Every structure is written in structure tokens, then in C-alpha cells.
Amino acid sequence: MRITHDAVAGTLESGDVLVRVAPDETLGVSVSTSVEAQYGDVVRKVVATTLAEFGVESGSVIVEDKGALDCTLRARVQAAVARGTDEQIDWPALIGRLP
């Protein structure tokens, strides 16, 4: 799956995360988080896993986390990717993958 156009999901409010996606030749992921010391690795893992589940192969993904829970991180990445690809959500597959 390729990101075909710029898209955004989420906010910069506390407990939320802003995810920006844009077309690119390769897959590049940038993560900044207000809880880097405690959960930086967890945030990166959730973002990477969610992108992999969607089969995102190329695109720029910029994540600005403000202390979002895992479920929020997943939801915002899913929303940004869906918006950036105009793909319809496959609900059986998406819900089936939730932890």
C-alpha cells in the first residue's frame, strides 16, 4: 500500500497524537513523544506494527505524540493512512487484528 496524498489525523491535545502522512518513494517514519523516556520504544513499536498491519510500503509518516494510549496511537495511524490512501477500512480484518 502506498500513501497517495497528504493527510492528517489526531490532535496535539494531551492524551492524543497527531499523525501526518505524505507520499514518498520509500517508507520513512519519524516519531516524537512527550513520554520518550518512559514509553518511546513502545510508541515506535505500536506505530510500526500498525503501519505493517495496513501493509504500508512507502510514504512519509510523522508522529507527534502527546501521551496517547496505545489504542489512540493505533486509531490515529489507521485514520491517517486510510485518509492518505483513500482505502476503505476492512473492518473484519482491522478488528480481528486488535490486541
Partner 1 sequence: MTSSYGVLSAGNAGFDPATVQFSKYSDSALIPDRSVLFVPGSSAGMLSTAWIYGADLYTFDLEDAVAVREKDSARLLVANALHSPQWRGLRVAVRVNGMDTPFFADDLEAVVRAGAAIIRLPMTHDSHMIEELDRRITAIERACGREVGSTQITAAIESAAGVVKAREIAEASQRMVGLALAGFDYLMDMHAERSRGGTELFYARCAVLHAARASGIACQDVVWGNIGDEEGFVAEAEMVKQLGFDGKSLINPRQIPLLHRVYAPTESELRFARKVVAAAEEAEERGLGVIAVDGKMVDGPIVAIARRTIAYAAGHGAAR
Give whichever of 26 and 88 is closer to partner 1, judged by the CB atom. 88
Question: What cell was used for 31?
Answer: 516519531
| Residue 54: φ, ψ to 5° | -80, -10
CB neighbours (10 Å) of residue 38? 11
Q: Where are the beta strands (DSSP E) in the chain?
A: 7-10, 17-22, 27-33, 59-65
Residue type at 22 in one-letter notation: A
Q: Is 70 in the site for partner 1 (CB under 8 A)?
A: yes
Give whichever of 57 and 89 is closer to partner 1, judged by the CB atom. 89
Interface residue with partner 1 among 1, 27, 29, 79 (CB under 8 A) is: 79
Containing 52, the helix (H) or strand (E) segment is helix 36-54
Give the binding range for partner 1 (CB under 8 A) out of 24-32, 36-44, 56-64, 78-86: 78-86
> How many residues sit in the footprint of partner 1 (CB under 8 A)?
27
Q: Which residues bind partner 1 (CB under 8 A)?
A: 9-11, 13-17, 68-72, 74-76, 78-79, 82-83, 89, 91-92, 94-95, 98-99
